[in-house]
Structure 1
Amino acid sequence: MDTTTFNSSNFTAVPGSLGLRNRPLKLHRTAIHFKSFTNFSVRASAVGASDSTVTLLDYGAGNVQSIRNAIRYLGLDIKDVQTPEDILNAKRLIFPGVGAFASMMDVLNKNGMAEALRAYIENDRPFLGICLGLHLLFESSEENGPVKGLGLIPGVVGRFDSSNGCRVPHIGWNALQIKNDSVILDEIANRHVYFVHSYRAVPSEENEEWISSTCNYGIDFISSIRRGNVHAVQFHPEKSGDVGLSILRKFLLPNSSITKKSFEGKATKLAKRVIACLDVRTNDNGDLVVTKGDQYDVREQTKENEVRNLGKPVELAGQYYLDGADEVSFLNITGFRDFPLGDLPMLQILRYTSENVFVPLTVGGGIRDFTDANGRYYSSLEVASEYFRSGADKISIGSDAVYAAEEYLKTGVKTGKSSLEQISRVYGNQAVVVSIDPRRQYLTSPYEVGFKSVKVTNLGPNGEEYAWYQCTVNGGREGRPIGAYELAKAVEELGAGEILLNCIDCDGQGKGFDIDLIKLISDAVSIPVIASSGAGKAEHFSEVFSQTNASAALAAGIFHRKEVPIQSVKDHLLKKGIEVRM
């Protein structure tokens, strides 16, 4: 694919429900370049014109931008379903089900599309369901229910049981066990694919003829089905890198003549994730740059005191995808605090990045309720929706989650009005990450404060043996009367699906993660925990994975400065017997 230069002066924002079309962009002088980042490319000219269109059923919830980008990357056009007749007339239909099962079925039943889908599938027409697109084929789901599905496959979709030690949601790269001829999975034996879900269907004698692969996460569950031309997968091929693109190609272009890549691997179980984080903000010249803080200070300690500039966001994200990052996280620290949706450059970064980066994208910063200068109120749900439409798979909430947790712990009442509750209710808790920014407070006794404390591995400056972790807001500038332990427990109750656990004391120090903190939080909750702050060498990753229950580890500066390549981290982890995606 040719390199394309895209300048902000000739780009119009994609309109959403928030009326953003004509707002001025702030990309300034920085042009954005994007390249082909995968091992094959198929153009529409390679197939007949009548075969170049894919029908997509987008019922209006969650991020389907990624599947759109993958389809277009493979050289095909998209026709969106508007009526039930569009389903019945489709030559190839993809249903990237996202969100919650009950709301999905409600929409499909009300507009007559459920019956059209049933007829289409019963007639053995080419169909690919993704995630909820697999669930709806079963008799019912326990999510927000029980709620009836299409009833084509025997079985009930139930929730994972966290009591057996598995973290729910099931988030990350897991291995498939191929059971039967699946056609679309033929080239990916023993490789990891990306899952993000809390509900699953289980194999039985009644549905075994449908099953093409299973996956183990505490129990064996159905990871894909196939009967004739009907396929559905629990994982997300559009977020599974080259392996996922291969699956989509096999479904969409079964007769295409392109160079194939061998995907033989040694995946056996859920892999530990290595995540690249990009702190994005404007520098003093008004350009969007990737920066990195030293205990949250992003300015150079020089006479000019300028913002550290470590590269361009889209280019770095693309390079990290090539380097093997399992996820890419953007943290917007520009500070559009009075009008987060005025930050169109961040939305543009997501759009550009998601066109060529086929692993999960998380974005955080400014996702909250607010009122603009004209007095118009915007809910946090509207703000998050704009990020999802722009290509984000998960959103990260920081300060707003602290305030919500404080109120919840004070009253014991879930109001349903906090950003965390609103977004997780509509998009599912797997789409919501809570970012915790604590600062270590040393104690001579564990009983000095009313918050959970730990006995620290390294003594405090005055020989203190204990510490508690005080949560902060506003980029670490303000301490709050709540500990990291109490916050983590509260946000899990309020609907968080994952915790990004930072540590101000370790940020930018390169001396390793705060093992005491990460062990405290990862042992306290049953949702995945991402370890952050302090990585300085590959050994720090094996240390955090071997000594805590962290599901993932995140780094920024060592990747930006090319001190430790992502591949070197993964090679080291493999040598230590820690499974990672390769």
Structure 2
Amino acid sequence: MLAKRIIPCLDVKDGRVVKGVNFVNLRDAGDPVELAALYDREGADELVFLDISASVEGRETMEEVVRQTAGEIAIPFTVGGGISKVEDMKRILRAGADKIAVNTAAVLNPQLIADGARRFGSQCIVVAIDAKYNEAWGEWEVYTHGGRKPSGIKALEWVKQAETLGAGEILLTSMDADGTKDGFDLKLTAAVSDSVRIPVIASGGAGKESHFYDVFTTGKADAGLAATIFHYKEIAVTALKQHLREQGVEIRD
């Protein structure tokens, strides 16, 4: 079994890190390059940068942020937001990113996953999925455009398709749990983890150390991603890792 990973997430808007609850009510959380360097020093295993505004200006800003960050950290980092074609992937990878996350663009054009995997390797392609429980269906639905648009696509079907197309990893965000700090969506995470063979990064709902233990055991996730608790110093990465080791979870040094 691979060691579990702890991944802080930097949601970047207009060059600043922001965080909200259930994808709304955003507030400033700091400078992305400074935060990235801090998390590297604290022992985070990886970082995820998401340009949540994904405007033309935002993408240009993100490219510069990626370049600056690459010079400050030694850990791998994934960049997503506004990436809709292979040339976008190439540009961000050249700026210093290790992996590319695609979300809306992949739903609208699944071939993008296959094209990216063929060009750069599956290990570079992360398919990010924003999922929300659909009462009528009795299962989860994929949302696009920063969680604003229901796609009509079932999440469990989409993760299988993404894997088949060449995705190397799934970044799974529960919209129901996002920012609540009540814990990860364990049912959703376990269902997705059982549906694919590639690693699943769980996102949305982390509020305390025990939530990570739960998502690694009950949720079967390969990595736990969080933002609010790290940005506002509610939990330190080093303390979280020590707690998980004490609970018998194999975690990276």
Please give the TM-score of this superposition, normalised by the length of structure 1: 0.43
Letter in structure 2 aligned against 1:277? C
Determine whether 1:426 maps to 2:142: no
- Paired with 1:569 and 1:471, the residues of 2 have a C-alpha distance of 30
Question: Quick check: 2:51–2:59 contact (8 Å CA) kept in 1?
Answer: no
Matching residue's letter, 1:573: L
| Aligned counterparts, 1:103-122, within 5 A | none
Residue number in structure 1 paired with 2:83: 367
What's the Cα RMSD here? Answer: 1.3
SS in 2 for 1:573: helix
Q: Structure 1 residue 347: deviation in Å?
A: 1.0
Per-residue deviation, residues 18-45 of structure 1 (Å, max 9, x unmatched): xxxxxxxxxxxxxxxxxxxxxxxxxxxx
Displacement of 1:526 in angstroms is 0.7
What's the counterpart of residue 533 of structure 1?
Answer: 204
The whole-number CA distance in structure 2 between the counterparts of 1:392 and 1:317 is 13
CA distance in 1, matches of 2:147, 2:53: 15
Deviation at 1:404, TM superposition (A): 3.3
Choose from 390, 394, 398 the match for 2:95: 390
Give the whole-Å Cα distance in 2 for the aligned partners of 1:476 and 1:492: 21
* 3-state secondary structure, aligned to 2:248: coil
> Residue 252 of structure 2 aligns to which amino acid in structure 1?
R
Counterpart residue number, 1:319: 38
Matched, 1:558 2:229: yes
Matches within 5 A, 1:260-299: 270-282=2-14, 288-299=15-26
1:19-58 residue pairs with structure 2 within 5 A? none
Cα distance in 2 for partners of 1:528, 1:298 equals: 30
- State the one-letter code of the partner of 1:426: R
Q: In the alignment, which of 139, 156, 170 is matched to residue 468 of structure 1?
A: 139
**Given the alignment of the two structures, is residue 512 of structure 1 paired with residue 217 of structure 2, yes or no?**
no
Structure 1, residues 302-330: CA drift from partner, whole Å, max 9, x if none? xxxxxx11100000000000111000110
Give the structure 1 partner of residue 48 of structure 2.
Answer: 329
Candidates 63, 70, 90, aligned match of 1:347? 63
Indicate which of 104, 128, 134 corresponds to 1:435. 128
What is the letter of the counterpart of residue 90 of structure 2? S
How far 1:579 sits from its partner (Å)?
Answer: 1.2
Equivalent residues of 2:32, 2:65 under 8 A apart? yes
Question: Which residue of structure 2 aligns with residue 214 of structure 1?
Answer: none
Match of 2:171 among 500, 510, 513: 500
Partner of 1:291: helix, strand, or coil?
A: strand
Q: C-alpha separation between the residues in 2 aligned to 1:323 and 1:331?
A: 21
Show CA shifts across 1:1-60 (max 9, x none): xxxxxxxxxxxxxxxxxxxxxxxxxxxxxxxxxxxxxxxxxxxxxxxxxxxxxxxxxxxx
Deviations 1:217-236 (A, max 9, x none): xxxxxxxxxxxxxxxxxxxx
Which protein is bigger by CA-based radius of gyration? 1
CA distance in 2, matches of 1:385, 1:517: 32
Q: How far has the Cα of 1:349 moved from its partner?
A: 1.0
- Give the secondary-structure state (helix, strand or coil) at the position aligned to 1:559: helix
Whether 1:399 and 2:131 are equivalent positions in the alignment is: no
CA distance in 2, matches of 1:491, 1:298: 31
* In structure 1, distance between residues paired with 2:135 and 2:69: 42
Give the letter aligned to residue 2 of structure 2: L
For residues 107 and 165 of structure 2, the distance between their equivalents in structure 1, rounded to whole angstroms, comes to 11
User: Deviating runs (4+, > 6 A) in structure 1?
Assistant: none
Greater helix proportion: 2
SS at match of 1:437: strand
Q: What TM-score comes out, normalization by structure 2 length?
A: 0.96
Q: Which residue of 2 aligns with 1:33?
A: none
SS of equivalent residue, structure 1 residue 436: strand
Aligned twin of 1:573? 244
Taking the TM superposition and a 5 Å limit, the aligned residue runs for 1:66-145 are: none
Letter in 1 for 2:172: L
Contact 1:291 1:298 in 2 (8 A): no
Matched to 1:297, the amino acid is V
Cα offset, 1:548, TM superposition = 2.7
User: 5+ unaligned residues in a row in structure 2: which ranges?
Assistant: none
**Count of matched residue pairs:** 253
CA distance, structure 2, for counterparts of residue 468 and residue 391 of structure 1: 37
C-alpha contact (below 8 Å) 1:515/1:547 kept by paired residues: yes
1:546 alignment counterpart:
217
1: distance between equivalents of 2:105 and 2:32? 25
| C-alpha deviation, 1:549, in angstroms | 2.3
Identity %: 43
Q: Compute the displacement of 1:552 (Å).
A: 0.5
Aligned pairs for 1:223-302 within 5 A: 270-282=2-14, 288-299=15-26
Residues 435 and 501 in structure 1, CA contact (< 8 A), matched pair in contact too? yes
